[in-house]
């Protein structure tokens, strides 16, 4: 059972983890750990701790469940998506080190079944679409696909599982009436949400639809793929937004790291990186409308009527 | 329009609506616009038929989505359960009558989309794909494979991008061998996706029209040497410089995607889209949005016209006219119209009609009369 318990600690969303903590009620210690777990997620830090005894391991698993209860009670996008990103990255860390048997057990939790060995794995197309990233390395057009299966490498498989974990953790059912101990702790978490709701105000039509979509995702604390962040930063730089304001836009992302973001935004300005063309944005998988403008900055040369037609 | 609607209604009285999950779909109807009212739902095909006979709208469409409560409003309350994967292939053309001469060209893309992409790449069973004439300028392909029903909008968009070759860079398929830099490696014909499609495309070109690549490929030996390499993924067995070869392969790369997918209105990625009901009438043409068995043989001006429908129920119409009089002009199916604008000469299937002048009065076969009336170019008199 000890090994099973370690598996459950690493993957607290698994069925075996559920079984391990069945019947356990959240006590003060567990709730404390849960609050800590969410706080770490907000900072993007690892929540790894030294766990010596089985009881500690049980508490660790239960802290995940308790954290989910709190988030289910609060139903706050900001907290939930940061927690989901952090938990998926945590799981990924273990997946990178675990053997195929453990990886496949986690994968099966999300219906990700692969055939083949090594770096020639076949996964079925709908599953692939559900969990793949919208970036050139994962665009369907660049993949080998045959009879409903997509060929992926082992590292890509791990990335699909990471995304599946993120989606699963993010999808928390509403917990209307949790135990009091959870309710009180949840209140504490609310205080952790940064109070910078004074955002740049953006009107419909201010930016091309793809930019609007990214801003909207950021505002809802949804994750953005790397290329989307790059495009958004170059675009906002090009239209003359200040570095600080741009960093503020990224602050809403679930895995926001102030230092890294500041560095990257100022790097883009210093190096004068240009805004990618529509063709490139298409290859990123970020194009979401038919503007026919060739380059995002041309949006600002359009008439309001034309913008309105495209937005429809 | 009353006379037109009477003709529509008589078709609907016997029309067949094989719509899986009909009771879980939202319906929309239109007279002025294509959709004036939506959120309708019907328990079964009989109810739908009864509605169409008594109300007879010009357009009727159903959701690609399946809902727990299809008639509920607002849309969030319907409880989305999944949606067919639908592709809309159509022709962009000048003027209201420009598309009909080009309908034939879209058929080739429909065949490629279904056989090559949907069945071969996506792994969908033939029985889960239906091809439907849109009733106007193109074709709808409905995919009802359970594995695809719960895909989100972004994921469907990815499939459309794939089909349309968005972001396809065929030069990426080629690279020099690490061990032998004089060897050009590339896709093999048995590979999946665009790589295999590219290799097969080049092989086909070398078979059908070898000189399109180089005049020297008229020589069988040169050709076969090159082909034998491609089959193993070795693209070096050519006298062409690699860069020149790659440049010339662009004509093949450009022919691989499906170009006529209509993405403007988001048919594929919109999860609450309403689409023309298969076997219903398109109110802008008077043609039936027929479910098609054999796309290659399909001729809208023969197979989708109202006077040729419901024939099984009316075997009498099929009997020959023994006197032979008027058989070409189809007795009883002529309608008198008066044109209210000029219409250019049109080729519709095997027939050439027009041109017509404003105020001209004319007796026309029903299918053409309906077309001009539905298009507001003429009125029935």
pLDDT, one tens digit per residue, over B110-153 is 999 999 999 999 999 999 999 999 999 899 999 999 999 999 98
**Pick from A130, A145, A287: which is nearest to B192 by CB?**
A145
CB contact under 8 A, A148 and B123: yes
Cβ contact B41:B27 at 8 Å: yes
- Whether pLDDT at A14 is above 80: yes
Which of A95, A166, A94, A164 shows the shortest CA–CA distance to A123? A164
Quote the pTM value: 0.81
What is the arrangement of strands in the sheet containing A114-117, beginning at the earlier edge strand?
Answer: A114-117, A120-124, A149-152, A145-146
Residue for token pair 């398109």: B282
Q: Span A80-91, mean pLDDT?
A: 93
Cβ <8 Å between A139 and B167 = yes
Portion of chain B with pLDDT greater than 70, in percent? 93
Record the tokens describing residue B157, joined without a space: 């968009």
Contact A147 B151 (CB under 8 A): no
Residue in chain B lying closest to A292 (CA)? B264
User: CA of B161 to nearest chain A CA: how many angstroms apart?
Assistant: 8
Indicate if the alpha-carbon torsion angle B307, B44, B71, B292 is positive or negative: negative
Angstrom distance (rounded) from CA A187 to CA A40:
17
Taken in order of first residue, the domains within chain B and their CATH numbers are 2-165+261-308 (3.90.920.10), 170-255 (no CATH), 325-380 (3.40.5.50)
pLDDT band of B182, cuts 50, 70, 90: confident
Average per-residue pLDDT for chain A: 88
Q: What pLDDT does residue B265 have?
A: 62
Task: Look at residues B101, B100, B11, B104 and name the one whose alpha carbon lies nearest to residue B58.
Answer: B11
Contact A143 B193 (CB under 8 A): yes
Residue B324 has pLDDT above 70, yes or no: no
pLDDT surpasses 60 at B325 = no
Catalytic residues of B: 88, 90, 264
B168: chain A residues, CB-CB within 8 Å:
141
Half-sphere exposure of B71 (CA within 13 A, CB side): 6
Question: Which residues does A53 contact at the CB level (< 8 Å), separation at least 6?
Answer: none
Residue A201, pLDDT score: 63
DSSP B115: I
Per-residue pLDDT averaged across A294-304, rounded?
87
Q: Cα separation of B278 and B142, whole Å? A: 10
A57-71, A187-201, A295-309, B174-188: lowest mean pLDDT where? A187-201
Q: Considering only CB atoms, which residues of chain A are within 8 Å of chain B?
A: 124-126, 129-130, 134, 136, 139-149, 151, 282-285, 287-288, 290
* Average pLDDT of the segment spanning A294-312: 83
pLDDT, average across residues B271-276: 92
Residue A137 pLDDT exceeds 90:
no
CB contact under 8 A, B147 and A148: yes
Distance from CA of A281 to the nearest CA of B (A): 9
Contacts of A139 in chain B (CB under 8 A): 158, 161-162, 167
Average pLDDT, chain B: 89
C-beta atoms of B192 and A130 within 8 A: no
Question: Which residue among B161, B172, B263 sits closest to A290, beta carbon to beta carbon?
Answer: B263
What pLDDT score was predicted for residue B74? Answer: 84
Quote the distance between the C-alpha of residue B167 and its chain's center: 23
- In the prediction, which pLDDT does B319 show? 42
The pLDDT tens digits of the residues spanning A228-240 come to 999 999 999 888 8
For position B331, what pLDDT does the model report?
A: 52
With bands split at pLDDT 50, 70 and 90, how would you rate the model's confidence at A66?
very high
Give the pLDDT band of residue B234 (cuts 50, 70, 90). very high
Q: Which of A141, A146, A225, A283 should we substitute to test contact with B (largest number of B Cβ atoms within 10 Å)?
A: A141
Q: What is the pLDDT of residue B76?
A: 83
Contact B194 A141 (CB under 8 A): yes
Residue B164 clears pLDDT 50, i.e. is over it: yes
Say if residue B271's pLDDT is above 50.
Answer: yes
Distance from CA of A148 to the nearest CA of B (A): 4
Closest CA to B226 of B214, B218, B236: B236
Place B101 in a pLDDT band, splitting at 50, 70 and 90.
Answer: confident
- Report, as an integer, the average pLDDT of A258-273: 86
Smallest Cβ–Cβ distance between A140 and the set B123, B158, B169 belongs to B158
pLDDT tops 80 at residue A141? yes
Interface predicted TM-score (ipTM)? 0.84
Radius of gyration for chain A, computed over Cα atoms and rounded to the nearest angstrom: 22
| Range of weakest confidence among B5-19, B310-324, B362-376 | B310-324
Locus of tokens 């830090």? A45
Task: Indicate whether B23 pLDDT > 90.
Answer: yes
Shortest Cα distance, chain B CAs vs residue A146, angstroms: 5
CA proximity to A86, closest of A162, A159, A157, A160: A162
CA B329 to chain centre: 30
φ and ψ of B103, to 5 deg: -55, -35
Quote the pLDDT of residue B264.
64
What average pLDDT does range B63-87 have in this prediction?
Answer: 93
Rounded (5°) CA angle A8-A12-A13: 120
Going from N- to C-terminal start, the domains of chain A cover 2-75+172-190, 108-163, 209-311
Exposure b/e, A58-82, CB count within 10 A at least 16 = b: bbbbbbbbbbbbbbbbbebebbbbb
Confidence class for position A200, pLDDT limits 50, 70, 90: low
DSSP-based three-state secondary structure for B41:
coil
């Amino acid at each position: 059972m000890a090994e099973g318990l370690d598996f459950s600690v690493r993957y607290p969303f698994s069925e075996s983890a559920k079984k391990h903590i069945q019947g356990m009620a959240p006590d003060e210690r567990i709730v404390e750990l849960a609050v800590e777990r969410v706080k770490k997620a907000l900072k993007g830090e690892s929540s790894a701790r030294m766990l010596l005894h089985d009881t500690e391991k049980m508490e660790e698993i239960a802290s995940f469940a308790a954290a989910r209860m709190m988030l289910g009670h609060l139903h706050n996008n900001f907290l939930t998506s940061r927690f989901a990103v952090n938990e998926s990255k945590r799981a990924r860390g273990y997946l990178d080190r675990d053997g195929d048997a453990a990886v496949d057990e986690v994968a099966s939790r999300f219906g990700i079944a692969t055939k083949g060995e090594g770096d020639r794995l076949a996964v079925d197309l709908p599953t692939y679409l559900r969990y793949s990233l919208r970036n050139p390395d994962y665009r369907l057009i660049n993949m080998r696909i045959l009879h409903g299966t997509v060929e992926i490498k082992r590292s890509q498989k791990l990335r699909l599982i990471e995304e599946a974990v993120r989606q699963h953790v993010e999808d928390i059912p509403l917990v209307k009436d949790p135990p009091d101990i959870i309710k009180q702790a949840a209140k504490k978490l609310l205080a952790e949400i940064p109070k910078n709701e004074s955002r740049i105000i953006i009107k419909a039509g201010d930016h091309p639809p793809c930019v609007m979509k990214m801003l909207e995702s950021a505002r809802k604390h949804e994750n953005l793929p790397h290329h989307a962040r790059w495009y958004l930063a170059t675009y906002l730089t090009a239209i003359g937004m200040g570095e600080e304001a741009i960093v503020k836009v990224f602050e809403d992302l679930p895995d926001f790291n102030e230092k890294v973001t500041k560095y990257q935004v100022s790097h883009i300005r210093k190096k004068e990186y240009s805004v990618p063309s529509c063709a490139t944005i298409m290859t990123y998988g970020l194009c979401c409308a038919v503007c026919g403008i060739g380059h995002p900055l041309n949006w600002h040369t359009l008439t309001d009527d034309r913008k309105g037609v495209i937005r429809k | 329009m009353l006379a037109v609607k009477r003709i529509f209604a008589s078709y609907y009285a016997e029309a067949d609506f094989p719509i899986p999950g009909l009771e879980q779909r939202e319906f929309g109807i239109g007279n002025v616009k294509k959709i004036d009212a939506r959120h309708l739902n019907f328990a079964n095909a009989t109810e739908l038929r009864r509605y169409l006979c008594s109300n007879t709208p010009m357009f009727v469409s159903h959701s690609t989505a399946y809902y727990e409560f299809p008639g509920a409003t607002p849309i969030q309350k319907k409880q989305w359960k999944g949606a067919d994967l639908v592709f809309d292939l159509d022709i962009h053309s000048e003027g209201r009558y420009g598309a009909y001469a080009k309908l034939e060209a879209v058929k080739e893309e429909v065949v490629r989309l279904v056989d090559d992409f949907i069945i071969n790449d996506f792994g969908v069973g033939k029985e889960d794909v239906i091809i439907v004439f849109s009733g106007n300028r193109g074709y709808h392909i409905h995919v009802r494979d359970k594995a695809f029903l719960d895909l989100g909008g972004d994921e469907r968009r990815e499939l459309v991008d794939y089909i349309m070759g968005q972001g396809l860079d065929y030069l990426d398929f080629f690279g020099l061998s690490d061990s032998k830099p004089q060897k050009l490696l590339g896709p093999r014909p048995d590979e999946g996706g665009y790589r295999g499609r590219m290799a097969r495309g080049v092989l086909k070109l070398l078979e059908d029209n070898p000189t399109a690549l180089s005049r020297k490929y008229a020589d069988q030996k040169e050709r076969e040497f090159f082909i034998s390499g491609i089959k193993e993924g070795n693209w070096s067995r050519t006298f062409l410089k690699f860069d020149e070869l790659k440049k010339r392969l662009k004509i093949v790369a450009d022919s691989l995607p499906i170009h006529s997918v209509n993405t403007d209105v988001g048919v594929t990625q919109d999860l609450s889209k309403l689409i023309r009901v298969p076997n219903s009438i398109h109110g802008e043409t008077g043609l039936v949005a027929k479910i098609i068995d054999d796309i290659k043989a399909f001729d809208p001006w023969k197979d989708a016209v109202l006077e040729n429908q419901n024939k099984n129920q009316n075997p009498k119409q099929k009997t020959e006219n023994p006197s032979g009089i008027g058989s070409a002009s189809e007795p009883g199916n002529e309608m008198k119209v008066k044109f209210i604008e000029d219409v250019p000469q049109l080729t519709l299937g095997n027939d050439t009609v027009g041109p017509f002048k404003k105020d001209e009065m004319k007796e026309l076969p029903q299918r053409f009369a309906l077309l001009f009336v539905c298009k507001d170019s003429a009125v029935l008199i």
